[in-house]
Structure formats: structure tokens, C-alpha cells
Structure 1
Amino acid sequence: MELGGVRAISPRGLAEHGIHYLAGRAALSVRERTPGTVILLALRGTSTEFSIDTTAAAVLAFVKAEALWSRNQGEPWLQIGSGLVIAAPGIVRTLRCQGSWRAAITFVPREAMASFVPALPPDMQIFPDRRLLDRAMQTFIEGLLSGDERATAIERYALEQLIVEMSGAILLDRVGAAPGLGSPRAVLRDRAMAVIAQQCGDPSLTPSQVAREVQSSLRQLQLVFAEAENSVADEIRRQRARLARTLLGDSRYDVLSIEQVAKRAGFQSPMSLRRALAEAYKTTPRALRAQRHA
């Protein structure tokens, strides 16, 4: 595929993304755009049955169908509603769409989403209630896939960053409080995650400060994070690594030294930045810049 372009793909091309037809191939249209490491698909058709294997990517899909069923292998069909679908890497499901249907699907690499939420739910989740952010993302993706304009290198980079940020924000909003979604403890953790994501660039941000922001004791907040096998300090470091990765991947910040990038991302020293990037992304500041230039 020519970089930056949109193409129609066949069933074989769709299978490369872990989506396999099982029945009802007639009148099916599939378009693909790949701005960097994320993959965007627009599917439209009539009654169809197919299996989905999310392989190594997190999946956010916006599905609208007259009637929709889902099942795991060996289980009975379960009727579900249209809406936002979130699936962690490695989930296998069979879907059956009846009547006219359409879907806008985003595949985001596992490592990109790990900086937003430490873990995703073990099974596919469907959210029939639509919120402002996921409606905006759906409109954005469908717009990218509806035209044939070829994106420039700068546009591909910007599109990739926007899609990763929107996907991560949706995960924080929808499943950032898992496990125990909806419980008071989960709501507390969700609020803390939002504070960390917004303020991670402040070098004075500490677990104690996060606890004060969400009106909780530090001990209570630490227990809530421990339930998800995480800690407040680890989450602050993860979000700072995400911010640093964004700065290092943006040519506008090439004038900044590694030490200045570390400071802007909230790290106390370049060494702290290097350790965090190695832990979160298995890379270094110089390698991130060199990769973009290449």
C-alpha cells in the first residue's frame, strides 16, 4: 500500500487484520488507511458472519447494525446492541450482523495503549451509550476513510498521534477504572488516572498530591491502584513516559535537548527519563528521534 493513501481491500487483506469471513460475503465494502502504526478500517455490508482475532493490537470499533449477535467458541449466541466496542489484544469472537450494518475500526498497538491503562478487560466490552469523545473519534475516522486524499509524512505523523491520544482517552474514560467498573473504588481510581494524565508534566506531581486532588487518603488510593496491579507512582511515571515519547516524536521539539524534554515531561533528570522510556517502550530518547528522522 502507498503510504498515506486509502485503499479498498479484499477478504484476504481483511484476514491480515484478524477478521475472517464465515458467511454472507455479498455487498461488502472494506476500506483501509494506515497512518503509521495504527490501522483504520471502514466496513459496510448486509447480513454477514465473521470472526475477529485482535492479535497484538487493542481494538476500538464503532458499530451500527439492525441486529447484532456475538459469541465465544462453543457458547450460544448473545444478542448485543450497536455502539462502541473495546477489545484487548488476543480476544477471539464471532459476530453476526443482520440487515444493513457498518463499522469503523481502529487497531492501536498494545504498547501505545499500555501508557494510558495498565490492563484492558479480559473480554470484549460493548458500550451502547454514546459519549462526546467516542462520537467525535468515530466521525474523525469515518472522514479519513471516506476520501481518497493521500496524506503527507507530516499529516501521517499528526494523524497517528491524534488517533492514539483519542483512543487512550476513551480507554481512560471507559475502562480506566477496571476492575470493578462503576464501584466507588473504581470511580476513585478513574478520577486519579485523569488527574495524572492531565498533570504528569508537572515535576511536583506526587502520589500524595494526586490523593489530595481526588479528596482521598494516600493509603486508600494506593489500595485502589493495587487492585489493578498498579501503583500511583508507576502510573505517574508511565504517563510522563508517554508525554516524553510524544515530545521526542514531534519535530517542533527538536530544538529541545534531552534534558529539556525530560523537564517538560515532569522527570527530575534525563536518567529518569531514559529508565521510564526503556520500561514503557523498550527504547531510548535518541532512538525515538532517529526513528522519526529515518
Structure 2
Amino acid sequence: MASDVGTREYGPSDFIAAGARGLNGRVQVRAKERSFGGLSLLSVSGQPLEIMLEPEAGEVPLIDFIFIGGGDFAYRNEGVWVPLEATLVVAPNGISRHLRLTGEWSFVAARVPREAMEAFVPELPSSIGTFAKRSLLDCSMQEFVSTVLESAQRASSIESYAVEQLVLEMGGALLLDRMGGGWSQGSPKAVLRDRAMAVIAQQCSDPELNPARVAHAVQSSLRQLQVVFSDAGTSVAAEIRRQRARLARSLLMDSRYDVLGIEQLAERSGFGTTMSMRRALTELYGSGPRELRRCRGGAAAVVAQ
């Protein structure tokens, strides 16, 4: 099971080593980090400073959910400081920017491996999303992350696993909400397809999910929905199969599910049989379930584009 590896505290010297520069002559900042499995939670606050944030060499690709609690944030773009007018920032490739933070600033963040989110959303965003208006889901995720960070208690293995899963599910739901409800504006057909993809991502583990049920969930006729997917070069059934394969792969790549046999994994992923799961995994990743599990973390596991 995932384990809480403890709490790390960071002070001015850590930020100076990372290239931070205090705008008032001194670097005044403090941070706290807690890790659960493959994700980490952060709370950071301080006085005005500038810092360049870059991913570390060999770092696992991350999605950052950043909840801004106070202060003014700006990023440097082609030599010009651009105000970041947002209370929520979703960075699908992590934050890699020259930032200026002024006033009494603070934020909390959840840093989640991109691969872990593949089982929760039909498609990961490629560009940074900034949101000025907050939803109930945003606020709930921020409150949960803040509460976990404020606690001085060390998490048990079960608690650590629960925290990790809750953050993943809230992050996945937040992405679905933002993507399906206006992450990007598109044509009516694109909006309908996004809504259908969100339903597929949420319900793919249900073996009873089929194109007709997806059409009913998005209040569309099956014929209309099939046309929308056909125009995008795919089909509703193919996307259901693809999403089930992504879920199956995420379970196979997670050592916590090694206690489950292939038949159990197929059932949990929404496949009717192990043969259908094997075919879908081979089509999408070039390897069957046993090969993916055996090559976990290695170069032999093919990642779908």
C-alpha cells in the first residue's frame, strides 16, 4: 500500500538555492510538503519574491492543481510581466515559469502524476488552465488538501492510501468538470462529444455501459452521437473500449493491485472477458496484461499517444 513518507519543511535557504530572489531584499517564505504514494501536497506562503520554476531532470510528468489563497501572481512572457488573474491554476505539465509573487501571498497545491489521471479522464489537457471563478468542487478539493497539510498526525497505510485515492478522484472530477463545462470553447458537436467522453470516463468500469446508455446520459439520440464521433474519426464503442483499456493498464501498473488476478482486473475495468481486455490492451499498448504487469516501469510498456 502507499505510505505517508512524512512531512518536509522548506525555508528561505531552500528557495534561495532554487533561485528565488526577495523583492524586499530578503527571501521570506515557508513551505510544507506531504507525500502520499506518487502524489504530493504543498502549502507555500511568503513575502514578495521572484522565482523560476523548472521541472527537475528525470522528474515524473505531473499535473499541478494550484489553489491561490492570497497575493498577486504574475508570470514573465517575452520580457513582459503578465498578471495571473486566477484563483485556480491547472498546469497539465507542471509549472515551468518565471513567477513574481507580491503582497502577502499563499497557495496550496496537489501535484499528481499525469499517468495516474489517465484512468479518470478521457483525455488530458495540453495547456495551462486558469480560472477566476471557483466551483464547489474546487473549494472542496482545496479544503481537503489544506486540512491534510495542517494535520500533524502521521497517516497509517490505510489512511495514506485513502488520501491518495481521494485526491486523484477529486482531481479527475475537477478536470472533467472544467473540460466538459468549458475548459475550451468549441462547436456544439465538440461540446456534445466532450460531454459523452466525460460520461465514458466516469462509467467505463460498469460492464453495462454501452453507446445507447452514453447517448441517453447526454440527452442525445444514438444516431446523432455516432455521427459526432464518426466526424472525429472514432466511435462511441471504440472510446468505451479505449477508456476501459486505460483503466486496466493503470491497475496493472500499480503494485497495490497485484493481489488481483487477470480475471478480476478485467471485471474491475468493465470488460466482459479477459480475452476482450487482452485484445484492447494489445491494440492500444502493444502488450497483453501479463506483459504490462511484468514490464511495469520499464521501456517495454508502450504508452499510448
Would you say same fold, with TM above 0.5? Answer: yes
Question: Which shifted more, 202-211 or 226-235?
Answer: 226-235
In structure 2, the partner of 1:69 is 74
Match of 1:153 in 2: 157
Q: In structure 2, the residue corresponding to 1:98 is in which secondary structure?
A: strand
Task: Give the C-alpha shift of residue 224 in structure 1.
Answer: 5.0
Matched, 1:106 2:110: yes
Kindly name which structure, 1 or 2, has the bigger radius of gyration based on alpha carbons.
Answer: 2
Q: Distance in 1 between matches of 2:11 and 2:290?
A: 39
Aligned to 1:240: 244
Are residue 60 (structure 1) and residue 57 (structure 2) matched? Answer: no
Q: Please list, as runs of the form range in 1=range in 2, the aligned pairs for 1:98-247 lying within 5 A after superposition.
A: 98-115=102-119, 116-122=121-127, 124-176=128-180, 180-181=184-185, 183-218=187-222, 220-221=224-225, 224=228, 232-241=236-245, 244=248, 245=250
Question: Is the contact made by 1:172 and 1:193 (CA closer than 8 Å) also made in structure 2?
Answer: no
The one-character-per-residue Cα deviations of 1:85-135 (angstroms, maximum 9, x if unpaired) are: 01121663222221011111111112112331423132x221111111111
| More off after superposition, 179-188 vs 36-45 | 179-188
TM-fit CA distance, 1:168: 1.0
Q: Are the structure 2 counterparts of residues 67 and 9 from structure 1 closer, same or farther at C-alpha, using a change threshold of 3 Å?
A: closer
Residue 79 (1) aligns with residue 83 (2): yes
CA contact (8 A) 2:53 2:96 kept: yes
TM-score, normalization: structure 1? 0.78
Mean alpha-carbon deviation: is it higher for 173-182 or for 60-69?
173-182
Count, aligned residues:
285
**Higher alpha-carbon deviation: 162-171 or 86-95:** 86-95
Structure-2 change in CA distance of 1:129 and 1:211 (3 Å): same
Between the aligned residues of both structures, percent identity stands at 43
Q: TM-score, normalised on structure 2?
A: 0.76
2-structure distance, mates of 1:110, 1:15: 28
Which stretches in structure 2 are left out of the alignment for 5+ residues? Answer: 297-305
Counterpart residue identity of residue 209, structure 1:
R
- Mapped to 1, the partners of 2:147 and 2:220 lie a distance apart of 42
State whether residues 22 and 49 of structure 1, in contact with CA within 8 Å, keep that contact through their aligned partners in structure 2: yes
Shift of 1:216: 2.8
Contact 2:180 2:195 in 1 (8 A): no
